[in-house]
Amino acid sequence: MIEDKNQQRTQLSDLGEFGLIEHLTKNFKIKQTSTIKSIGDDAAILDFKNKKVVVTTDLLVESVHFDLSYVPLKHLGYKAVVVNLSDVYAMNATATQVTVSIAVSNRFPLEALEDLYAGIETAANIYNIDVVGGDTTSSTTGLLISITAIGEVENDVEVYRSGANPSDLLVVTGDLGGAYMGLQVLEREKEVYKVNSNNQPDLEPYSYIIERQLKPEARKDIVKLLKDLELKPTAMIDISDGLSSEILHICKQSKVGCDIYEEKIPLDPQVISTCEEFNIDSTTVALNGGEDYELLFTISQDDYSKIKANPNFSIIGHIKEEGAGTHLVTRADTRIPIKAQGWKNFNA
Protein backbone atom coordinates (compact mmCIF):
# COMPACT_ATOMS: atom_id res chain seq x y z
CA MET A 1 0.00 0.00 0.00
CA ILE A 2 1.17 3.54 -0.61
CA GLU A 3 1.60 5.42 2.60
CA ASP A 4 1.76 9.18 2.87
CA LYS A 5 5.44 9.88 3.36
CA ASN A 6 4.87 13.62 3.74
CA GLN A 7 6.59 13.96 0.41
CA GLN A 8 7.55 17.20 -1.15
CA ARG A 9 4.96 18.42 -3.64
CA THR A 10 6.28 20.67 -6.38
CA GLN A 11 3.50 21.96 -8.62
CA LEU A 12 4.02 21.09 -12.30
CA SER A 13 3.07 24.66 -13.18
CA ASP A 14 6.21 25.85 -11.35
CA LEU A 15 8.34 24.28 -14.11
CA GLY A 16 6.33 24.78 -17.28
CA GLU A 17 6.16 22.16 -20.02
CA PHE A 18 9.70 22.56 -21.33
CA GLY A 19 11.20 22.72 -17.87
CA LEU A 20 9.31 19.56 -16.96
CA ILE A 21 10.47 17.60 -20.03
CA GLU A 22 14.03 18.76 -19.50
CA HIS A 23 13.89 17.83 -15.82
CA LEU A 24 12.41 14.37 -16.40
CA THR A 25 14.67 13.37 -19.28
CA LYS A 26 18.02 14.97 -18.41
CA ASN A 27 19.57 11.71 -17.16
CA PHE A 28 18.74 9.61 -20.19
CA LYS A 29 21.87 8.39 -21.95
CA ILE A 30 22.10 7.10 -25.51
CA LYS A 31 23.06 3.41 -25.74
CA GLN A 32 22.08 2.34 -29.25
CA THR A 33 24.16 3.13 -32.32
CA SER A 34 20.90 3.36 -34.28
CA THR A 35 19.90 6.45 -32.27
CA ILE A 36 21.21 9.37 -34.33
CA LYS A 37 19.12 12.15 -32.74
CA SER A 38 17.23 11.72 -29.47
CA ILE A 39 15.16 14.06 -27.28
CA GLY A 40 15.43 17.77 -27.98
CA ASP A 41 14.51 18.38 -31.59
CA ASP A 42 11.20 18.20 -33.43
CA ALA A 43 11.68 14.48 -34.01
CA ALA A 44 14.15 11.73 -33.26
CA ILE A 45 16.27 10.29 -36.09
CA LEU A 46 17.10 6.59 -36.16
CA ASP A 47 19.27 4.65 -38.60
CA PHE A 48 18.72 0.90 -38.85
CA LYS A 49 21.02 0.37 -41.85
CA ASN A 50 19.78 -2.77 -43.62
CA LYS A 51 17.63 -4.12 -40.81
CA LYS A 52 13.86 -4.19 -40.62
CA VAL A 53 12.19 -1.84 -38.15
CA VAL A 54 9.58 -3.07 -35.66
CA VAL A 55 7.11 -0.60 -34.14
CA THR A 56 4.46 -1.20 -31.47
CA THR A 57 2.48 1.03 -29.14
CA ASP A 58 0.34 0.76 -26.01
CA LEU A 59 -1.89 3.17 -24.18
CA LEU A 60 -2.37 2.88 -20.42
CA VAL A 61 -5.22 4.72 -18.72
CA GLU A 62 -5.55 5.25 -14.98
CA SER A 63 -8.46 3.30 -13.41
CA VAL A 64 -8.72 1.15 -16.57
CA HIS A 65 -5.25 -0.38 -16.74
CA PHE A 66 -3.78 0.55 -13.38
CA ASP A 67 -4.90 1.62 -9.92
CA LEU A 68 -2.56 4.05 -8.19
CA SER A 69 -3.81 3.04 -4.76
CA TYR A 70 -1.56 0.00 -4.90
CA VAL A 71 0.68 0.50 -7.92
CA PRO A 72 3.72 2.61 -7.04
CA LEU A 73 4.49 5.06 -9.86
CA LYS A 74 8.02 3.77 -10.20
CA HIS A 75 6.68 0.29 -10.90
CA LEU A 76 4.13 1.72 -13.29
CA GLY A 77 6.84 3.44 -15.34
CA TYR A 78 8.86 0.25 -15.42
CA LYS A 79 5.90 -1.92 -16.38
CA ALA A 80 4.67 0.51 -19.05
CA VAL A 81 8.01 0.16 -20.84
CA VAL A 82 8.34 -3.59 -20.30
CA VAL A 83 4.91 -4.49 -21.71
CA ASN A 84 5.80 -2.68 -24.93
CA LEU A 85 9.19 -4.35 -25.20
CA SER A 86 7.43 -7.69 -24.80
CA ASP A 87 5.59 -7.03 -28.09
CA VAL A 88 8.91 -6.33 -29.84
CA TYR A 89 10.44 -9.56 -28.50
CA ALA A 90 7.33 -11.46 -29.63
CA MET A 91 8.40 -10.59 -33.20
CA ASN A 92 11.79 -12.21 -32.43
CA ALA A 93 13.27 -8.71 -32.69
CA THR A 94 15.63 -6.61 -30.55
CA ALA A 95 14.09 -3.59 -28.81
CA THR A 96 16.16 -0.43 -29.31
CA GLN A 97 14.14 2.72 -28.52
CA VAL A 98 10.91 3.94 -26.91
CA THR A 99 8.97 7.16 -26.94
CA VAL A 100 6.96 8.09 -23.84
CA SER A 101 3.89 10.31 -23.95
CA ILE A 102 2.04 11.36 -20.83
CA ALA A 103 -1.09 13.28 -19.98
CA VAL A 104 -1.17 14.41 -16.33
CA SER A 105 -3.56 16.37 -14.17
CA ASN A 106 -2.37 18.89 -11.58
CA ARG A 107 -3.25 16.27 -8.96
CA PHE A 108 0.27 14.94 -9.67
CA PRO A 109 3.22 16.84 -8.23
CA LEU A 110 6.61 16.82 -9.91
CA GLU A 111 7.83 14.22 -7.41
CA ALA A 112 5.22 11.74 -8.69
CA LEU A 113 6.45 12.15 -12.26
CA GLU A 114 10.03 11.78 -11.07
CA ASP A 115 9.05 8.39 -9.66
CA LEU A 116 7.36 7.42 -12.92
CA TYR A 117 10.46 8.41 -14.88
CA ALA A 118 12.76 6.64 -12.43
CA GLY A 119 10.93 3.44 -13.35
CA ILE A 120 11.15 4.25 -17.06
CA GLU A 121 14.87 4.94 -16.71
CA THR A 122 15.48 1.68 -14.82
CA ALA A 123 13.72 -0.29 -17.56
CA ALA A 124 15.66 1.58 -20.26
CA ASN A 125 18.93 0.68 -18.54
CA ILE A 126 18.07 -2.97 -17.88
CA TYR A 127 16.75 -3.57 -21.41
CA ASN A 128 19.41 -1.40 -23.06
CA ILE A 129 17.04 0.90 -24.92
CA ASP A 130 17.02 4.65 -25.55
CA VAL A 131 14.14 6.98 -24.66
CA VAL A 132 14.17 9.12 -27.78
CA GLY A 133 11.12 11.33 -27.40
CA GLY A 134 7.54 11.67 -26.39
CA ASP A 135 4.91 14.25 -25.69
CA THR A 136 3.66 15.92 -22.54
CA THR A 137 0.21 17.35 -22.05
CA SER A 138 -2.32 18.00 -19.32
CA SER A 139 -5.33 15.89 -18.49
CA THR A 140 -8.39 16.97 -16.55
CA THR A 141 -8.64 13.77 -14.58
CA GLY A 142 -6.28 10.84 -14.42
CA LEU A 143 -2.91 9.85 -15.75
CA LEU A 144 -2.43 8.50 -19.27
CA ILE A 145 0.77 6.93 -20.52
CA SER A 146 1.37 5.98 -24.11
CA ILE A 147 4.59 4.23 -24.99
CA THR A 148 5.82 3.35 -28.45
CA ALA A 149 8.60 0.79 -28.69
CA ILE A 150 10.88 0.48 -31.69
CA GLY A 151 13.09 -2.47 -32.51
CA GLU A 152 15.21 -4.01 -35.22
CA VAL A 153 15.35 -7.45 -36.75
CA GLU A 154 17.48 -8.97 -39.47
CA ASN A 155 15.81 -10.10 -42.67
CA ASP A 156 13.99 -13.43 -42.31
CA VAL A 157 14.53 -13.59 -38.55
CA GLU A 158 11.18 -11.99 -37.69
CA VAL A 159 8.40 -14.33 -36.54
CA TYR A 160 4.71 -13.70 -37.15
CA ARG A 161 1.59 -15.15 -35.55
CA SER A 162 0.67 -16.74 -38.86
CA GLY A 163 3.35 -19.39 -39.48
CA ALA A 164 2.25 -22.39 -37.37
CA ASN A 165 1.88 -25.71 -39.23
CA PRO A 166 0.05 -28.93 -38.30
CA SER A 167 2.22 -31.19 -36.07
CA ASP A 168 4.29 -28.24 -34.78
CA LEU A 169 4.88 -28.22 -31.01
CA LEU A 170 3.30 -25.47 -28.88
CA VAL A 171 5.81 -24.09 -26.41
CA VAL A 172 5.44 -21.56 -23.61
CA THR A 173 8.18 -19.83 -21.58
CA GLY A 174 8.20 -19.37 -17.80
CA ASP A 175 5.02 -19.98 -15.85
CA LEU A 176 1.48 -18.61 -16.08
CA GLY A 177 -1.21 -17.12 -13.88
CA GLY A 178 1.11 -15.32 -11.45
CA ALA A 179 0.25 -11.77 -12.49
CA TYR A 180 -3.48 -12.39 -12.17
CA MET A 181 -3.19 -13.98 -8.72
CA GLY A 182 -0.87 -11.16 -7.61
CA LEU A 183 -3.62 -8.73 -8.62
CA GLN A 184 -6.18 -10.71 -6.59
CA VAL A 185 -3.98 -10.40 -3.50
CA LEU A 186 -3.43 -6.66 -4.06
CA GLU A 187 -7.16 -6.05 -4.55
CA ARG A 188 -7.93 -7.95 -1.37
CA GLU A 189 -5.37 -5.98 0.64
CA LYS A 190 -6.75 -2.73 -0.75
CA GLU A 191 -10.17 -3.60 0.67
CA VAL A 192 -8.62 -4.51 4.03
CA TYR A 193 -6.68 -1.23 4.01
CA LYS A 194 -9.87 0.77 3.36
CA VAL A 195 -11.36 -0.67 6.55
CA ASN A 196 -8.24 -0.32 8.67
CA SER A 197 -5.35 1.74 7.40
CA ASN A 198 -3.12 0.60 10.28
CA ASN A 199 -3.26 -2.94 9.02
CA GLN A 200 0.15 -3.94 7.69
CA PRO A 201 -0.41 -7.01 5.56
CA ASP A 202 2.15 -9.81 5.41
CA LEU A 203 2.69 -10.11 1.68
CA GLU A 204 5.79 -12.31 1.94
CA PRO A 205 3.94 -15.54 1.02
CA TYR A 206 2.81 -13.77 -2.17
CA SER A 207 6.09 -12.10 -3.10
CA TYR A 208 6.54 -13.88 -6.43
CA ILE A 209 3.03 -13.32 -7.74
CA ILE A 210 2.92 -9.68 -6.57
CA GLU A 211 6.18 -9.08 -8.39
CA ARG A 212 4.69 -10.73 -11.49
CA GLN A 213 1.86 -8.18 -11.30
CA LEU A 214 3.75 -5.03 -10.29
CA LYS A 215 7.15 -5.57 -11.85
CA PRO A 216 6.88 -7.97 -14.77
CA GLU A 217 9.84 -8.66 -17.04
CA ALA A 218 9.80 -9.08 -20.81
CA ARG A 219 11.56 -12.12 -22.26
CA LYS A 220 14.48 -10.43 -23.97
CA ASP A 221 16.53 -13.43 -22.83
CA ILE A 222 14.38 -15.80 -24.90
CA VAL A 223 15.07 -13.94 -28.14
CA LYS A 224 18.78 -14.35 -27.43
CA LEU A 225 18.34 -17.98 -26.40
CA LEU A 226 16.45 -18.81 -29.61
CA LYS A 227 19.28 -17.23 -31.58
CA ASP A 228 21.91 -19.19 -29.65
CA LEU A 229 19.94 -22.40 -30.19
CA GLU A 230 19.66 -21.57 -33.90
CA LEU A 231 15.94 -22.07 -33.48
CA LYS A 232 13.41 -20.02 -35.41
CA PRO A 233 9.84 -20.50 -34.18
CA THR A 234 7.22 -20.92 -36.90
CA ALA A 235 4.87 -18.54 -35.02
CA MET A 236 5.16 -16.47 -31.85
CA ILE A 237 3.06 -14.14 -29.64
CA ASP A 238 3.43 -12.68 -26.17
CA ILE A 239 0.97 -13.69 -23.48
CA SER A 240 -0.60 -10.43 -22.41
CA ASP A 241 -4.26 -11.48 -22.49
CA GLY A 242 -4.03 -15.06 -21.22
CA LEU A 243 -2.94 -18.29 -22.84
CA SER A 244 -6.30 -19.19 -24.42
CA SER A 245 -6.74 -15.89 -26.20
CA GLU A 246 -3.15 -15.95 -27.53
CA ILE A 247 -3.38 -19.56 -28.71
CA LEU A 248 -6.53 -18.67 -30.61
CA HIS A 249 -4.72 -15.75 -32.27
CA ILE A 250 -1.97 -18.09 -33.49
CA CYS A 251 -4.47 -20.72 -34.66
CA LYS A 252 -6.72 -18.21 -36.42
CA GLN A 253 -3.88 -16.39 -38.17
CA SER A 254 -2.08 -19.64 -39.06
CA LYS A 255 -5.34 -21.32 -40.14
CA VAL A 256 -4.69 -24.34 -37.90
CA GLY A 257 -6.18 -26.08 -34.86
CA CYS A 258 -4.48 -27.33 -31.70
CA ASP A 259 -4.60 -29.54 -28.62
CA ILE A 260 -3.15 -28.29 -25.35
CA TYR A 261 -2.82 -30.44 -22.27
CA GLU A 262 -3.97 -29.14 -18.90
CA GLU A 263 -1.30 -31.12 -17.05
CA LYS A 264 1.46 -29.49 -19.12
CA ILE A 265 0.57 -25.87 -18.30
CA PRO A 266 3.44 -24.48 -16.17
CA LEU A 267 2.33 -23.08 -12.80
CA ASP A 268 4.45 -21.74 -9.97
CA PRO A 269 3.74 -23.32 -6.54
CA GLN A 270 2.74 -19.87 -5.24
CA VAL A 271 0.08 -19.62 -7.97
CA ILE A 272 -1.26 -23.04 -7.01
CA SER A 273 -1.40 -22.28 -3.28
CA THR A 274 -2.96 -18.83 -3.80
CA CYS A 275 -5.56 -20.31 -6.15
CA GLU A 276 -6.44 -22.81 -3.42
CA GLU A 277 -6.70 -20.00 -0.88
CA PHE A 278 -8.99 -17.95 -3.16
CA ASN A 279 -10.85 -21.04 -4.29
CA ILE A 280 -10.10 -20.33 -7.97
CA ASP A 281 -9.20 -23.00 -10.52
CA SER A 282 -5.54 -22.60 -11.44
CA THR A 283 -6.05 -23.78 -15.03
CA THR A 284 -8.69 -21.09 -15.55
CA VAL A 285 -6.25 -18.52 -14.18
CA ALA A 286 -3.44 -19.68 -16.48
CA LEU A 287 -5.79 -19.70 -19.49
CA ASN A 288 -7.51 -16.39 -18.88
CA GLY A 289 -5.56 -14.39 -16.31
CA GLY A 290 -3.25 -12.49 -18.60
CA GLU A 291 -0.41 -10.02 -18.01
CA ASP A 292 2.21 -12.73 -17.68
CA TYR A 293 4.32 -11.39 -20.60
CA GLU A 294 5.72 -14.80 -21.38
CA LEU A 295 6.19 -15.93 -24.97
CA LEU A 296 4.09 -18.58 -26.69
CA PHE A 297 5.55 -20.07 -29.85
CA THR A 298 5.38 -23.01 -32.18
CA ILE A 299 8.31 -25.01 -33.55
CA SER A 300 8.73 -27.78 -36.05
CA GLN A 301 9.04 -31.25 -34.44
CA ASP A 302 12.46 -31.47 -36.09
CA ASP A 303 13.62 -28.81 -33.62
CA TYR A 304 12.45 -30.71 -30.54
CA SER A 305 15.98 -31.67 -29.50
CA LYS A 306 16.94 -27.97 -29.32
CA ILE A 307 14.45 -27.21 -26.54
CA LYS A 308 14.00 -30.47 -24.66
CA ALA A 309 15.04 -30.40 -21.01
CA ASN A 310 15.53 -26.62 -21.13
CA PRO A 311 13.88 -25.24 -17.96
CA ASN A 312 12.82 -22.05 -19.78
CA PHE A 313 10.43 -23.97 -22.00
CA SER A 314 7.30 -26.08 -21.49
CA ILE A 315 5.78 -28.00 -24.36
CA ILE A 316 2.05 -27.67 -23.71
CA GLY A 317 0.57 -29.19 -26.84
CA HIS A 318 0.69 -29.37 -30.60
CA ILE A 319 -0.80 -27.85 -33.70
CA LYS A 320 -3.42 -29.77 -35.73
CA GLU A 321 -5.29 -29.25 -38.97
CA GLU A 322 -7.75 -26.36 -38.86
CA GLY A 323 -10.75 -28.69 -39.04
CA ALA A 324 -9.72 -30.43 -35.81
CA GLY A 325 -10.58 -27.30 -33.81
CA THR A 326 -8.84 -25.88 -30.75
CA HIS A 327 -9.09 -27.94 -27.56
CA LEU A 328 -7.87 -28.23 -24.01
CA VAL A 329 -7.36 -31.85 -22.98
CA THR A 330 -8.09 -31.96 -19.25
CA ARG A 331 -6.44 -34.14 -16.59
CA ALA A 332 -9.60 -36.27 -16.72
CA ASP A 333 -8.96 -36.68 -20.47
CA THR A 334 -11.99 -34.71 -21.65
CA ARG A 335 -11.67 -32.32 -24.57
CA ILE A 336 -12.96 -28.80 -24.00
CA PRO A 337 -13.06 -26.18 -26.78
CA ILE A 338 -10.72 -23.27 -25.99
CA LYS A 339 -12.52 -19.95 -25.57
CA ALA A 340 -10.91 -16.54 -25.33
CA GLN A 341 -11.86 -14.71 -22.20
CA GLY A 342 -8.84 -12.63 -21.36
CA TRP A 343 -9.07 -9.08 -20.10
CA LYS A 344 -12.26 -7.39 -21.20
CA ASN A 345 -11.35 -3.73 -20.94
CA PHE A 346 -14.58 -2.64 -22.53
CA ASN A 347 -16.83 -4.47 -20.10
CA ALA A 348 -18.10 -2.66 -17.06
- For 43, 221, 265, the CA distances from 115, given in Å and listed in that order, are 25, 27, 36
Could you tell me the smallest distance in angstroms from the CB atom of residue 149 to Mg ion? 19
Residue closer to ligand ADP by CB (options 134, 178) is: 134
Closest listed residue to residue 209, CA positions, set 177, 171, 231: 177
Q: How many residues does the chain have?
A: 348
Q: Choose between 40 and 205: whose C-beta lies nearer to ligand ADP.
A: 40
* Residue from the set 3, 4, 42, 204 that interacts with ligand ADP by CB under 6 A: 42
Tell whether residue 133 is among the known ligand binding residues. no
Spatial distance between the Cα atoms of 172 and 170, rounded to a whole number of angstroms: 7
- Applying CB under 5 A, among 14, 135, 221, 281 the residue interacting with Mg ion is 135
**Is 241 labeled as ligand-binding?**
yes
Q: Cα separation of 32 and 26, whole Å?
A: 17
Helices (H), the chain: 16-25, 73-89, 110-126, 178-195, 207-214, 220-228, 243-254, 269-278, 282-288, 304-307
Q: Does 139 bind ligand ADP (CB under 6 A)?
A: no
* From 77, 119, 133, 182, residue interacting with ligand ADP (rule: CB under 6 A): 133
The amino acid sitting at 84 is: N
Choice from 98, 100, 286, 307 touching ligand ADP (CB under 6 A): 100
DSSP 7-72: -----GGGTHHHHHHHHHHTT-----TTEEE-BTBSS-EE--TTSEEEEEEEEEEBTTTB-TTTS-
Which residues inside 102-131 make contact with ligand ADP, applying CB under 6 A? 102, 131
Residues 6+ away with beta carbon under 8 Å from 274: 181, 184, 185, 206, 209
**Smallest distance, Å, CB 21 to ligand ADP?**
5
115 is in an annotated binding site: no
- Binder to ligand ADP among 34, 35, 39, 185 (CB under 6 A)? 39
Question: Is 161 annotated as ligand-binding?
Answer: yes
Segment interacting with ligand ADP, rule: CB under 6 A, options 38-46, 204-212, 216-224, 250-258: 38-46
Query: Rounded to the nearest 10 degrees, what angle do helices 207-214 and 269-278 cross at?
Result: 100
Nearest to ligand ADP by Cβ — which residue? 133
Minimum separation from the CB atom of position 135 to Mg ion (A): 4
Please report whether residue 281 would count as binding Mg ion according to CB under 5 A: no
The yes or no reply on residue 150 touching ligand ADP (CB under 6 A) is: no
Long-range contacts of 280-286 (CB under 8 A, 24+ apart): 280/181, 280/184, 282/177, 283/328, 283/330, 285/176, 285/177, 285/180, 285/181, 286/176, 286/177, 286/242, 286/243
Spatial distance between the Cα atoms of 44 and 42, rounded to a whole number of angstroms: 7
Shortest distance, CB of residue 168 to ligand ADP, whole angstroms?
Answer: 41
CB 131 to ligand ADP: min, Å: 6
Return the range that interacts with ligand ADP (CB under 6 A); candidates 74-82, 99-107, 278-286, 295-303. 99-107
Q: Is 10 annotated as a binding residue?
A: no
Q: Is residue 65 marked as binding?
A: yes
- How far apart CA 116 and CA 73 sit, in angstroms, is 5
Residue 100, binding choice from Mg ion, ligand ADP, none, Cβ under 5 to 8 Å by partner class: ligand ADP
Q: Give residues in contact with Mg ion (CB under 5 A).
A: 135
Residues annotated within a binding site: 42, 56-58, 65, 87, 117, 134-135, 161, 238, 240-241, 291, 343
Residues annotated as binding site for ATP? 117, 134-135, 161, 240
Per CB under 6 A, residues contacting ligand ADP are 21, 25, 39-42, 100-102, 131, 133-136
